[in-house]
Chains A and B, each alone.
Chain A
Amino acid sequence: MVGTPVLFVAIPLLAAFLIPLFGMIWKESVRVIPGIVLAYLLVLAINLMNYVMVNGPIVEVIAGWAPPLGINLVFSAFSGFLVTLMVFLGLIVWMYSYRFKRNVDFEPAKKYFLLLMMLITGSVGMVLTGDIFNLFVFIEITSISAYALTAFYTGRDSAEASFKYLMLGSLASAFLLIAIMIIYSQLGTLNMADIGSKMHLMKPAYKIMAIIFLFTALGIEAEIFPLNGWAPDAYAEAPGPVGAAFAGIVVKAAIYASIRIIYTLFDLSGAYDLLIVIGMITLIVAETAAIRQEKLKRMLAYSSIGQMGLVMVAFGMGTEEGVFAALFLMFNHAIIKSLLFLSGSYLVYNSKDKLIKEVNGIGKFLPITSFLFVLGSFAIVGLPPFAGFWSKLSVLTAAADSNMLLIIALVLIVSIIEVVYYMRVVNRIYFFKKDESVSTQRPTLNALIAMITLGAIVLIVGFYPDAVTGFLHRASADLMDKAGYINDVLTLN
């Protein structure tokens, strides 16, 4: 082993505190250091992932106290996979926005990279932690960075979107604390594995109260209907790369937390049905809302919410195939939606309202960006042979295996809706005449590299899905193995 999981939190924090000092000596360092840190973390994640695939999960204790006394971090096939994905996307977003605001003296630009790094750290912490109160702390780290990043542009209504997000976010943290209190008052512990092993002792009435509060709290972060009021505005008003980071990183972490809670902490079978019902409602509401949107980023945001609903449905099946499908969807969504956000924000770079009709005929002026956007569109609606096809197929087979015909019907209908609104944009890009008043902006080289990397992954996974399915099978087996998780954590000394 070359490092330990705690470095995923310790190194960015150390760097965050160092950046103001280095910034006084060399101004560029505010941009460069987060990139170096993220690159290092990616290397670390890949190394640890290789180790975990061979030797099984790494459970790390903090401050030398074995669980349940101390806080512990769990780097397993499941959490490690998500961490690797998040750090990779973080590096892509960093690379994309490296020349985002040229002037480093511009004060928000100084803060931007720091906050972005902390957004990723908070999400990674949410995934790694094995302690329910620590989860709360990391959710707050993520949220505060997210509020600040949403309010980045002063010209737009970003402060309003951010305030809305903050309101719902603080309600979420209040509910999360109430749930933590109920659990703590009964079981006297905050460690997730310990809670999981003792959960059967708790009265069912308390269990239901706790899970309702936990689910409400995490539903707000994970954009689950009807708690997702913040999401479309925050995506639309935040800078493009931040939207990509929300869709690819923050929401994934929130989904991970809710899934970990339902699969490992609680033993309520009703919770799975709840997931399916909520996921279906989210899916239908979001996809029908997406088709009505006039702004490009709002459309992408609603599509993102809908995909999260589908992920919830897949997790709600409770079978290993279902979990595999959900993880595959999460992986594809993270890559493809980030690609769509990154390329989409160049398509509407100079327009004020970011309307869909302003992309008319832009395909001739921005050939590569448009091509990548179209590639992303094809992939996300699930056209073969792109990446999204395989994940949708695995959802369908998983649903067929557990005889859930309603889900199959729903996924197919929703796919048609998706085709309609994505192809509408693709049609405008290539077959409409360009509006002369709309000026275009060429992407910078680093942004182009970032987008092409994502596009290449979409193609590779599309033609050769086995590149990731091995990891995904291990990850889903890991999530289903509740006894193994508890055993790994609690027998550590």
Chain B
Amino acid sequence: MKKFVVILLLAVMGYYISITFFDIGFGDSHLVEGVVPVKDAYLNETVNSLNVANTVTSIVVNFRGFDTLGEVTVLFLAVTALGGILYKKRHQAGERSVLFSASKVVTSGSKLLFPAIVLLGAYVFIHGHLSPGGGFQGGVIIATGFLLMLLAYENFTVGHNTLSVIESLAGITFAGVGIWGLIYGGSFLENFLPVGTLNDLFSGGVIPIIYIAVGFKVAAELTGVIYTVLHEKG
């Protein structure tokens, strides 16, 4: 009975969402007439005043950097919440809830791949302002490297304190750059460094600095999440 009510409700909702979006249209400019969208200004300002090649990065870190600060905080809170919710009965390092022995091929292969994965992650977040990618993506790639090692080696440990220090320092860098901008530039997160030339590694002012901090933070936090859940006693 409940199922049918839910299906009916979903059908009605689906119908209305679909007709709204079909009506809006896919792939054209669907704005109402006479409106100048913000994106035009973003696309112009990114090249002209920030000298950042990747517009998405300039939006994420500079124009809407406040959102990103909040987003990083959400991740930080998720890790904190995880620690708070699952605090009891934690296994010691090396004894875990999921136990399995990986074969020699997997262990050697992981060891071989791990530095490459970390390098790729670092590349992605350092070049976040030039090419697709950025702090979040690079951080996730690095965390997958740690996930691989945790799966391959039963006794692979990551220092909990180390992760927490990296996390904190990266967060302080982000918030600190913001406050520095407030003091020397006049508004929070304002760019206070020279912007360089377009498509140079050293360009875009504070954007690469913030994205590198975000990369470290995301990598540490995701690794922390994996590690906490893996060492949970059922």
Footprint of B on A, CB under 8 Å? 4, 6, 9-10, 13-14, 16-18, 20-21, 24, 60-65, 68-71, 107-108, 111-112, 114-115, 118, 125, 133-134, 137-138, 140-141, 144-145, 147-148, 151-152, 154, 159, 178, 182, 185-191, 194, 198, 201-203, 205-206, 209
Q: Within the assembled complex, what's the spacing in Å between the Cα atoms of A24 and B162?
A: 11
Q: Within the assembled complex, what's the spacing in Å between the Cα atoms of A153 and B133?
A: 40
Q: Closest CB-CB distance, A194 to chain B, in whole Å?
A: 8
Q: Within the assembled complex, what's the spacing in Å between the Cα atoms of A226 and B175?
A: 39
Asked, given contacts A68-B38, A111-B84, whether A63 binds B24 with beta carbons under 8 Å apart, the answer is no
Footprint of A on B, CB under 8 Å? 16-17, 20, 23-24, 30-39, 41-42, 45, 62-67, 69-71, 73-74, 76-78, 80-81, 83-85, 87-88, 161, 164-165, 167-169, 171-172, 175-176, 178-179, 181-182, 185-191
Q: Is the CB of A16 within 8 A of B76?
A: yes
Q: Is the CB of B168 within 8 A of A21?
A: yes
Nearest chain A residue, comparing its CB with the CB of B85:
A151
Asked, given contacts A13-B171, A159-B85, A182-B20, whether A4 binds B182 with beta carbons under 8 Å apart, the answer is yes
A-B contact pairs, 24 of them (CB 8 A): A4-B188, A13-B171, A18-B168, A21-B172, A60-B187, A63-B66, A64-B186, A69-B42, A108-B87, A111-B81, A118-B77, A134-B66, A134-B70, A138-B70, A141-B73, A144-B77, A145-B81, A148-B84, A178-B17, A186-B24, A188-B39, A189-B37, A201-B34, A205-B20
Q: Is the CB of B77 within 8 A of A148?
A: yes
A-B contact count, CB below 8 Å? 172
Q: Is the CB of B24 within 8 A of A134?
A: no
Nearest chain A residue, comparing its CB with the CB of B69:
A13
Q: Within the assembled complex, what's the spacing in Å between the Cα atoms of A61 and B181?
A: 12
Q: Is the CB of A201 within 8 A of B187?
A: no
Q: Which of B37, B45, B178 contacts A10 (CB 8 A)?
A: B178
Q: Is the CB of B80 within 8 A of A114?
A: yes
Which residues of chain A are within 8 angstroms of B87 by Cβ–Cβ distance? 107-108
Q: Within the assembled complex, what's the spacing in Å between the Cα atoms of A182 and B18?
A: 12
Which residues of chain A are within 8 angstroms of B168 by Cβ–Cβ distance? 17-18, 20-21
Which residues of chain B are within 8 angstroms of A147 by Cβ–Cβ distance? 81
Which residues of chain A are within 8 angstroms of B38 by Cβ–Cβ distance? 68-69, 188-191, 194
Q: Is the CB of A137 within 8 A of B24?
A: no
Q: Within the assembled complex, what's the spacing in Å between the Cα atoms of A134 and B73?
A: 13
Which residues of chain B are within 8 angstroms of A68 by Cβ–Cβ distance? 38
Q: Is the CB of A21 within 8 A of B165?
A: yes
Q: Closest CB-CB distance, A487 to chain B, in whole Å?
A: 18
